[in-house]
Structure 1
Amino acid sequence: MIGLQKSGEKLVIENFGFKPCPSKTTLQSYITIADPKQLVLSDLPFKAGQRVEVIVLTDDNQRVTLAEELKKLFKEIQAIHADNPLDDQEIVAEIEAYRRGK
């Protein structure tokens, strides 16, 4: 287990299913942070005392968040019209009104 010390807080590194990257000696893994005060990795394929560089990147994927919100909105809209579904004529009338800017 590797421990990093910074500002009195310990960063412990433990295994999370690393996959080797094709270039150089690089490992890549995706994890979800359970405790924002520590990141734990173990069973790393490095020798004791070997110097490694640790880079932590966040995956702030706004597209995923927006897609989830859009799916939620679609479900809400479908629930609204479940009791009173629109017929084809009403749908055509709404599309035409939208195209006219009304």
Structure 2
Amino acid sequence: MPFLIETFDKPDLQALRLEVRQQHLDYLNANVDILLACGAKLSDNGETASGGIYLLDLDSREEAERFIKGDPFHQAALFDEVKIVRWRQAYLNRKNTL
């Protein structure tokens, strides 16, 4: 069952985000088998990230919680808020998957 995780960065921590970014990317690469999609939420000009969206193929909310707690961004206390919800995939890559 897919889960959606949405993260919201604490204000004024762009430097921390950039400092930890490579560790975060390494973590994503190490977990690529459960990633359906993920990416940063950006400002309108595309220059500043303020959080992220993760779509994960996991069996339980507990697994989703473990995943996000293992993310170097979470461990560096970048996030102000994290939302985890079950998600129903309907379209992926412009194709109906129902």
| TM value normalised by structure 2 | 0.34
| TM value normalised by structure 1 | 0.33
The structure with the largest alpha-carbon Rg is 1
Per residue, is there more strand in 1 or in 2? 2
Instruction: Return the structure number with greater relative CO, CA threshold 8 A, min gap 6.
Output: 2
